[in-house]
Amino acid sequence: MPMNIKNFIFDLDGTLVDSAPDLIHCLNQAYQALLPTRKIKVKPTDIGPPLPEMVKNLSPEIDSTIQEKLVTTFRHFYGLCGFKRSRLYPGIKKLLQKLNKKGCLLFIASNKPKRFSQQILQKDQLDIFTEIVGPDSIPGKNLNKKAMLALLIKKYCLEKAKTAMVGDMVSDLTAAKNNGIISIAVFGGYGDKKVLQAAQPDYSVEKPGDLNTLLL
């Protein structure tokens, strides 16, 4: 791994944090509240896409108005959960602290609203990110990963050859390639390994903790 990378943009869910237990719990709460007779079984592999897409994938036959209400209800429960079931993957806190100490710029680009990412990282006492962005980072817009990366690259004048996107979903890798930066795939998160491999990332690791070996 070329260690001239100075800027790291990390996905959150499935890359740094195993947030599936909280997400699954709150999704089940939302369905129980609005559709008590509807039986769903949310799996960790359902996690990762933006929330409206997750709900649509889980229940494509449900009217779009109900899907929107499920999203709103989920966010209500998620905001109250305290993120007590979400955990940093082993070795991740040490990795981030060491990268920070080396003078690297660290960012988060997540599909979850910015405030939720902030609260999870504050819970784990990780106030070392230059900026955290989400789909709601620009008022009135719904940013995808490509737009999030473009925002950070432009705002901080990041040199593309020294900037990497680290994530567990194809959308992370595609966003990196579309912005001309290095892509690093994390298997063992919520993305499908074969699909990630087919996207031809520049680098990859088998599980989040292996980033220590790759990046340090």
CATH at residue 125: 3.40.50.1000
Whether residue 91 sits in one domain with residue 65: no
Question: What is the sign, positive or negative, of the torsion defined by CA atoms of 95, 98, 104, 110?
Answer: positive
pLDDT at 187: 96
Q: Total domain count for the chain?
A: 2
Same domain, 76 and 115: no
The tens digit of pLDDT for each residue in 7-41 reads: 999 999 999 999 999 999 999 999 999 999 887 88
Please report the pLDDT score of residue 1 as a whole number: 52
Question: DSSP 3-state assignment of 202?
Answer: coil
Stretch 91-97: mean pLDDT: 96
Tell which of 56, 80, 104 closes a domain.
80
Quick one: 14 and 25 in the same domain? Answer: no
Q: Judging by DSSP bridges, how do beta strands 87-88 and 17-18 pair with one another?
A: antiparallel
Domain coverage including residue 52: 20-80
Together in a domain, 153 and 196:
yes
Are residue 167 and residue 69 in the same domain, yes or no? no
Summarised one tens digit per residue, pLDDT across range 116-153 is 999 999 999 999 999 999 999 999 999 999 999 999 99
**Tell me: the pLDDT tens digits for 43-52?**
887 888 889 9
Q: How far apart are CA 26 and CA 188, in angstroms?
A: 22
One domain for residues 51 and 95: no
